[in-house]
Amino acid sequence: MIEEDVAALLGRVSLGDRDAFAELYRQTSPKLFGICVRILGNRGEAEEALQEIYVKIWQRADRFSQGQAAATSWLAAIARNQAIDVVRARKPAANAIDEAYDLADPAADPEKSAVVRAEGRRIDACMEELEKDRAEAVRRAYVEGLSYQELADTFAVPLNTMRTWLRRSLMKLRECMER
């Protein structure tokens, strides 16, 4: 799958070319399906999400701008966001998440769990050392999967500024974690 080919197909899809849409599906569906399976952990849900993803691609192909993002990144962001929406929809309330967090996993290794929790606390502490907007941008990029452009729009900053924020924030996090 060549990036330029995918971008060209998206351009044709934006004009309503069904043959281009079929070819785009053929070339990109394995990657997008993999993203869905990884996030959802369920092939059935991933297949349903994939259908919704391609409906969105058909409807939004005219919003893709080659200068803004790579075509495959744009498609992956749509897939990731759709899969996350499915996860959110299947969880009834935040309380259920909190309750599930406290449940004991009989197969879990207590030592490994302690290490993971300690690392989580270290990451949280390091995130608090970042400026509030930078920490929020890092969370939204690496936990929620927002693209640079989506983050730049959300925080009302230029795209390159957002890239700089994330790069510098990750460097600060790395320094903090190594202390």
CATH of the domain at 65: 1.10.1740.10
Do 79 and 115 belong to one domain?
no
pLDDT the model gives residue 155: 92
Question: 58, 90, 122: which is the final residue of a domain?
Answer: 90
Contact 141, 151 (CB under 8 A): yes
Do 73 and 131 belong to one domain?
no
Which DSSP category does 93 fall into? -
pLDDT tops 60 at residue 95: no
Do 76 and 152 belong to one domain?
no
Number of domains the chain contains: 2
Question: 24, 59, 90: which is the final residue of a domain?
Answer: 90
**Domain limits at 169?**
104-178
Average pLDDT over every residue of 27-51: 92
Compute the chain's Rg from CA coordinates. Answer: 19
pLDDT the model gives residue 118: 80
pLDDT tops 90 at residue 84: yes
The highest-confidence range among 9-18, 67-76, 92-101, by mean pLDDT, is 9-18
Do 76 and 133 belong to one domain?
no
pTM metric for this prediction: 0.51
DSSP E strand stretches across 10-159 = none
Question: 90, 113, 133: which is the final residue of a domain?
Answer: 90
Do 37 and 75 belong to one domain?
yes
pLDDT tops 70 at residue 38: yes
Please state, rounded to an integer, the average pLDDT across all residues of the chain. 85
Task: Please write the tens of the pLDDT for every residue from 102-112.
Answer: 555 555 566 77
Residue 179: pLDDT band (50, 70, 90) is confident
Do 85 and 135 belong to one domain?
no
Do 77 and 11 belong to one domain?
yes
Residue 173: pLDDT band (50, 70, 90) is confident
CATH number, position 156: 1.10.10.10
pLDDT the model gives residue 123: 84
Do 78 and 118 belong to one domain?
no
Do 45 and 121 belong to one domain?
no
Token pair of 33 as six digits: 């399906």
* Long-range pairs of 125-130 with CB within 8 A, sequence gap ≥ 24: 125/176, 126/172, 126/173, 126/176, 126/177, 127/173, 129/172, 129/176, 130/169, 130/172, 130/173
pLDDT the model gives residue 142: 78
Total Cβ atoms within 10 A of residue 94: 8
State the Cα–Cα distance between residues 79 and 85, nearest whole angstrom. 10
Average pLDDT over every residue of 137-158: 86
Do 22 and 65 belong to one domain?
yes
- Sequence-distant (6+) residues with CB within 8 A of 140 are 146, 151, 154
